[in-house]
Structure 1
C-alpha cells in the first residue's frame, strides 16, 4: 500500500504560453544555422522598396549562431522592433482612456435602449459596432469585459449566452480579421513588407462588408430559431429575473464628443497616410494626441490621464513585447544567412502552383501557424519577413501576401482553443468550447470560402499598394 506521504502530485499539463513557443522557435532557428546551408539572394531597391531578384540565389559561407547570440538576438529584436512595440503600447494607452471615459459602454447601452423591440436591428447594430472596433484595433483582448454586457442583453431578449459571445467577441474578431485600419496586424505587416501604411484599404473595406454581412445573417438566423422555439438553443436559455435592462447613467454629450473626436481623428489619419505618407511612427504619436484630447474632453485631470494611459500601455505589454521576441527569430536567421535559403526552398513547390492556389496556400499556412502563435502582432513579425520575399519570388504582390496573413491569423482566433481571448470570453459567458465550436464552425467555413474568393480576385487584379 502506498503511503500518502509517498504519493506524488501530478501537475496538470498546460499548453505552452506564446512566449514559450516563440522562444522554442528561436532555439530551433539557432540550431538550424548549423545544418541548413547558408545562402542569399541579390536585392534591388525601387521607389524605397527592397525586393528579391528571382534566380539570383547562391550559397554563401555559413555563420552558425553561438550560445550568446541567441540571447543577444532577443535584445536586438526588441531594439529593431521598437517602433512597432511603441505603436502597440500607445494604442493600448489611447483606447484605455476612451474606455475609462465610459463613452464606449454608454454608447452601446444607448443603442440597446433606443432599439428595444427591434431585435434584428439591435443585433445587427451591435455586431457592426464591435466589428468596427475590431477593424481599427480598439477591440481585441479588450473585448472580454464586453461579453458580460452581452450576457445581460441576451437575457433580456430571451436568447442564450452563446449569442452574447457571437455579438461581442466574434463580431470584434471578424472586424479584426478584415482590419482595414488595424495597427496590430495590417499596420505591422505593411511596415515589414515595405508597403504604404494601410494601403489597399478599399479592398479591405469590401472584405469587411462581406464578412460582417454574413456574420449578421448567420447570427440572426440562430437567434430567430431560438425566438421561435427556445428548445433549439444549443446550450439552453437562462431566464432572467428581470427582462428589462436598466440604464443608470446617460449617454452624455461628453461621451458623444469623445466618440466623434476619435472617429474624426482616425478618418484624418487615413487622409494623412494618403496625402502626407504618414507611417507607423506618425500613428503611434497620433495615438498619444487622440488619447490626450479624449481625456480632456472626459474631464480627467492631468494625473488621471497619465495614469490611465500607462495602465493601457501595461495591458498590452504582453502583446507588444512578443513582436520583439518574434523579431529575434528573424535576427538569428538573417545573421546565420538561412532566411533566404528558406524562402528559396519554399518558392520551388509554390512557384509550380497557379498564383491563386499559392495565395490560398499562404492563407492555410498562416491559419495552421496561428494555433501555435495566437498573436497577430507576433505572427506578423515571424511570417511577413518570409512571405514578402516569397511573394516576390512566386509572382504575386506583397499586398496579396498581407491579405493571406491577416485572414489566416484572424479567422482562427475565433476557433482555436489556444486563443486566450476566445477561452476567456467563453468563460465569462459560461459557454463550453465544444458547444461554441459546433455553432461557429459552419460560419468559419463560410468566412474561409469568402477568403478564398477575395484572395483569388486580389491575385487576378494584381492587388497592389493602393
Structure 2
C-alpha cells in the first residue's frame, strides 16, 4: 500500500510539474485573426472621408459615418494571410537579404573578433557594452534606421549576450529596446516624424531640441533597466556556480568562445559595415531612398565582404542562403502579423475604433484631454504598429482636437509620437517584436514579464513629456 501510495504521490507531483506549452507565435497571431473575424459581427463598420493633399492621405474629421459592410467569413480569414505576406513583402525580403549578408559577415569571423575586441577594451564591464549597443541602435532608429530592422541584427545581440555569459533576453533587449528608445523620440526620423509633422503643417524636423531631450531620457531609462537585469542574471549564475557557462540563442548552455585575433581584414569588413549605413543615410536624406535601396546596399556590402574575406562565389551564395534560412521564420511572422491588419481594414473597423475614442475626449481640460489622447494612441498603437500608417489615420483627427483645446500643433504631434512608440515593445501584434522573439526562441510570456516594468516607466516618462509640452506651449506654433 505504501509503495502504491508513494507511486501515486510521485505521479501527482510529476503531473503538477508539467506545464502547458506556450503557443507558437503563429498560433497567437492566428488567434488575433479569429478575434477580428468575430468582432466583425458585433462592431459596426465605419469610415471617414479621405482626400489626397500633397501626396498624403488625410481624413476629414467631421465626416465619420457608420456604413453597412459585410462581415468577415472563413475564406477572408485564410486569404488574409496571403494578402498580409504580399503587403509586408518589402520588409520580408529585406529581412532575408540582411540576414543572409550578416551570415556572410559572421562567417568571416569579423563580428566575433570585433565584439570580443569591444569586450576586451571594456575590460569585462558589461554595463559599458550594454550602453554602447543601446546607444548605437537608438541613434540609428532616431534617424529612421534600425527599429524595424532590429530583427536582422538580433543574432549580433545574442552573440554579445553569450560572450558576456548572459541570457538571450539581454541580447534581444540591447538591440530591440535600444532601437525603440530612439524611435520614441524620432529626432530626425525621415518617415514617421516627417509624415506626422507634414499632416500637422509643421516645419519638418522642427522641435528637435525637445525630442533630443526625450531621446536622452528614454535611452537612459532603457540602458539602466537592461543593466539592472543583467546584474541580476549574473548574480543568479554566481549563486548557482555557473560563472563559466554562457547561454546561447537556443537556451543551451555552452562554454564561452575564446577570443579570436582581430585581423586587418576584420577591421576592413567592419568599417565597410559602418560605412554602408552612412551611405544609406546619405541616400535616404538626399534622394529619398527606402527599403529597396537598403536591400541593394546590403547586397553590395555582402559582395565586398566576400571579396575582402576571400570567399568564393559559390561559397558566398551558400552562406547567403543559410543566413536567409535562419531568419525565414521571423520574416514570415511579419507577414502573418500584417494579416491581422488586413482583416481590420477589410471589416472597416479601424475608423470606428478611432471615432469612438476621439468622441470621448469632449469636455476635458488641456492637459487631461491630451493625456487621454496619449493613452488612446498607446492603445491604438497596439493594433496599428505601423508608424506612418498610424500617422495617416490618427494625426488628422488629433490636430483639430488640439486646435480646439488651444494646444500647439507641436504638442499634438509629440503626443502622437510618444503614443506611437511605447506599446511597440510589448504588443504581440508587432511583427518586429514577435520575429525578434522567434529568432531568439524567447516565449512571449517570458518577454512580457521582463519588459512590463519598463513599459510602465516609458508610459510615465511619455506622460510627463506630454504634460510639459502642453504646459510650456511647445512650439514653434
Task: Determine the structure 1 residue equivalent to 2:408.
Answer: none
Q: What SS does the corresponding residue of 1:290 show, helix, strand or coil? A: helix
2:162 to 148, 152, 155: 148
1:127 to 131, 134, 137: 131
Structure 1: tracts of 5 or more residues without a match: 152-160, 370-377, 428-432
Matched, 1:345 2:356: yes
Q: What SS does the corresponding residue of 1:61 show, helix, strand or coil? A: coil
Separation (CA, whole Å) in 1 of partners of 2:425 and 2:266 = 30
Task: Determine the structure 1 residue equivalent to 2:266.
Answer: 255
1:357 to 368, 371, 375: 371
- Map 1:69-148 → 2, pairs under 5 A: 69-116=76-123, 123-129=127-133, 131-133=135-137, 136=146, 137=150, 139-140=153-154, 143-148=157-162
Q: What SS does the corresponding residue of 1:145 show, helix, strand or coil? A: helix
Closer/same/farther in 2, CA of residues 114 and 145 from structure 1, 3 Å limit: closer
Task: Determine the structure 1 residue equivalent to 2:297.
Answer: 286
Deviation at 1:289, TM superposition (A): 2.1
Matched, 1:274 2:258: no
Matched, 1:65 2:72: yes
Matched, 1:408 2:423: yes
1:26 to 30, 33, 57: 33
Deviation at 1:259, TM superposition (A): 1.5
Can you list the C-alpha shifts for 1:159-209, whole angstroms capped at 9, x where unaligned?
xx58x975x554334312224599xxx89978998989xx96967765554
Can you list the C-alpha shifts for 1:141-162, whole angstroms capped at 9, x where unaligned?
65223322102xxxxxxxxx58
Deviation at 1:90, TM superposition (A): 2.0
Separation (CA, whole Å) in 2 of partners of 1:69 and 1:115 = 54
Deviation at 1:276, TM superposition (A): 0.6
Q: Name the stretch that deviates more: 385-394 or 337-346.
A: 385-394
- Contact 1:91/1:284 (<8 A) preserved: yes
- Map 1:389-404 → 2, pairs under 5 A: 389-395=393-399, 401-404=416-419
Closer/same/farther in 2, CA of residues 225 and 70 from structure 1, 3 Å limit: closer
TM-score calculated relative to the size of structure 1: 0.71
1:171 to 171, 174, 177: 174
Deviation at 1:294, TM superposition (A): 2.5
Task: Determine the structure 2 residue equivalent to 1:308.
Answer: 319
Give the paired residue count.
416
Can you list the C-alpha shifts for 1:331-356, whole angstroms capped at 9, x where unaligned?
22323333322222232235666464
Separation (CA, whole Å) in 2 of partners of 1:335 and 1:192 = 24
Separation (CA, whole Å) in 2 of partners of 1:400 and 1:124 = 32
Task: Determine the structure 1 residue equivalent to 2:406.
Answer: none
Closer/same/farther in 2, CA of residues 308 and 25 from structure 1, 3 Å limit: same
2:385 to 374, 380, 385: 380
Structure 2: tracts of 5 or more residues without a match: 246-255, 403-411
- Contact 2:330/2:439 (<8 A) preserved: no
